[in-house]
Amino acid sequence: MRTSGRLAVVLQSIVVSSLSACGGAADGGHSAITAGGAGGAAGETGASASGGRASAGDGAGGQLQAGGIGGAFIIVNPSGTGGTATAGSGGAAIGGQGTAGSPLTPTMPTCDDKGLLSFVDGLNLPEPVDYIGIYLNQGTVDATLYQSKGTACGMAIDEAKCKAALVSGAPLVGFGSLYLQNTPSPLPLYNYMYVAYTRGESVGFISQTTQLISFLGEIDTANEAGLMFLSMGFPPGCNMISETKDAYFFATQSVSVGCPVSPPGRLFSVTRAGDGVVTTIGTAMPCVGRRPEGLREPKASRANPLGDYYASIAYLEAAAVLAFEVMESELARFGAPAHLRAGVRRARCDEQRHAKQMADFAKRWDGSVPPAEVTAPIARSVLDAALENAVEGCVREAWGALSAHYQAATARDPEARRLWRGIAADESEHAELSLAVHEWYLSQLAPDERALVESAIQRARLELRVELASAGDPDAAVIYGAGVPDPARAAALFGELETQVLAA
C-alpha cells in the first residue's frame, strides 16, 4: 500500500467529522471524538500534515481523532454556508456544514384530485391559452383525453369549426411512453401522447420536444417540469419532483439488489431551458469506482446480503481493471505524459489486487462473482475519453474513495476494516490520478469541448446526489458487517465531498 496524498487526508477528515457529528462508533464500541493535538502524522495511510493524528480505532470502543492543524493543513468549506477551518495552535477546526453549488429542494406542484401531478395546472405560459388537454392514443381511432383545463374552443367565434379542427388535426405520432420494470405508472397504457390547445380561433397541437419547449418557454414551475418529464416517457407522481436553481429532477423507484450495471431506476432531469436527460440509476446501492464503456450486466447470483455485496464489489473492481487497460491504451495513443500512463498502470495493478481481495470476501460469505465483460471497444476521441474520465473518475472514484474511508472506520468486522483501509488509500490515489488526467485532457481540448466536460462533471454530481438521496436502505448485515453508509449518512458525506473536493 502506497502513501496517499492530500486527498486521502481530506477524505479521512470528512469521515471523522461525520462520525463526530453523529456519534459514530468503531466495531460497536463507544467512539470518543477528540480534536487537536500538536504535531504527529495525519491519517492511517501515513499521509503527513502538520497536526494531530487522525485515526479510526480497530478495537471495541476505538477512538476517532480529528487531526490537529498546527498551521499547515487547512480544510476550508469554500462554497457552503457553514463555518470554515482556521489554523490554530495545535487545535483542529473543521468547516461547518455547507452545500456545494445549488442544493436539491422539494417542490410543491399542483396535483389533481387523485393525488397525481397535474400537467395542465401550474403552467406559466408565455402566451396564455383558453384550453389545454393531454391526450393519450391507446390504439383506437380517437385519442383519450387524460387531463384538461378550460373549455375547448370556448372563445372561438365558430365553435363547431374549431372543435372539428381539434379532432381532424390530431397528430398521428407523438411522445412515446417509457415502461420500467417493477415501476408502476400512474397513467394507463398508451402508444403515444400529445398536447392540444385552443387560443381564440386557433387550434394547436404539440407532439415534438421543440414545440413543447416553445409552448412552455422557460421551465420555471414544477408542473411545467412534470409535463416535460411526461414528454420524456414517464409521469412523475405528486410531490416527486425536486429542483435546484438550474434544473428539475425526479427519480423512479424500483426494486433492485446490489449494484447492477444497468439499474432499473431512472433519473429524469430537465433544465430551465428545457434540455431533458434520462439516466439509469441504482436505487438500492449506488455504484462506485470506474466502470468501462460497454460493461455488460452480470448474471444475478443470490447468496446472502454480505456475499452478494462483496460479489458486486469484486465485479466492479474487475471491471475497473478493464477500464484502466482502455485508459492506458488511449493515453498512449493521445501522447499523454509518461507519469500519467505510469499512474494508470499502477492503478490497474491495484484493481487486480482489489478484485481478488473482494472475491475472497465474497466466497467467505458464499457469494459468487461473475466475470466482468465489456463489448468490443472502439477507437474514441480525446473528448469521448475526457467525458468518461470526468464522470467515472473525477466523481465516481472520488465517492468510492470516500465510501471506502468510511467503511474502514465503521465496519464491525476487523478483517473488513483492514481491507477497506488499504482500498481507501489506493482509491484516494486513483481519484487524484483521475483529476490529474482530467486537467491534461482539458489542455488538449477546444474551449467548447472543455465546457462539455465541465458540464458532464456537474451533471454527474447532481445525478449521484439524487441516487444517494433516493437509495433504499442496504441490508443491516451490509451496514454493520461492511460499514456501508445508510442513505442519509451517504448523502451527508457526499455533500461534504462536493464542498471540499469536487467544487474546490
Give the position of cell 465489456: 374
Q: What is the pLDDT of residue 449?
A: 94
Q: What is the pLDDT of residue 80?
A: 32
Cell for 425? 488509500
Q: What is the pLDDT of residue 221?
A: 96
Are 402 and 11 contacting, i.e. CB atoms less than 8 angstroms apart? yes
The sign of the torsion formed by the CA atoms of 388, 390, 394, 395 equals: negative
Q: What is the pLDDT of residue 294?
A: 83
Q: What is the pLDDT of residue 240?
A: 87
Q: What is the pLDDT of residue 280?
A: 66
Q: What is the pLDDT of residue 434?
A: 96
Burial 189-202 (b: 16+ CB within 10 A, else e): ebebbbbbbbbeee
DSSP assignment string, 338-350:
HHHHHHHHHHHHH
Write out the chain's pLDDT in tens, 504 residues.
343 468 999 999 999 998 886 554 433 333 332 333 223 323 333 333 333 333 333 333 333 232 222 222 222 222 233 332 322 323 222 222 233 345 678 899 999 877 789 999 999 999 999 999 999 998 767 899 999 999 999 999 999 999 999 999 999 999 998 866 546 677 888 889 999 999 999 999 999 999 999 999 999 999 999 999 999 998 988 888 999 888 999 887 654 444 554 455 678 999 999 999 887 665 445 566 788 888 877 776 666 888 888 988 999 999 999 999 999 999 999 999 999 999 999 999 999 999 999 999 999 988 888 888 888 778 899 999 999 999 999 999 999 999 999 999 999 999 999 999 999 999 999 999 999 999 999 999 999 999 999 988 988 888 788 777 766 677 788 888 899 988 889 889 999 999 999 876
Q: Which fold has domain 305-502?
A: Ferritin (1.20.1260)
Q: What is the pLDDT of residue 300?
A: 62
Alpha-carbon distance of 303 to 62, in angstroms, equals 32
DSSP H or E stretch at residue 469? helix 447-470
Q: What is the pLDDT of residue 426?
A: 95
| C-alpha dihedral, 193 to 198 to 203 to 208, nearest 10° | -30
- The backbone torsions φ and ψ at residue 277, rounded to the nearest 5 degrees and listed phi first, read -140, 140
Helix, coil or strand: residue 205: strand
Range(s) within the chain of domains with CATH label 1.20.1260: 305-502
Query: Is the overall model pTM greater than 0.75, yes or no?
Result: no
Minimal CA–CA distance to 31: which of 3, 68, 65, 72?
A: 65
Cell for 366? 458464499
Minimal CA–CA distance to 437: which of 346, 341, 351?
A: 341
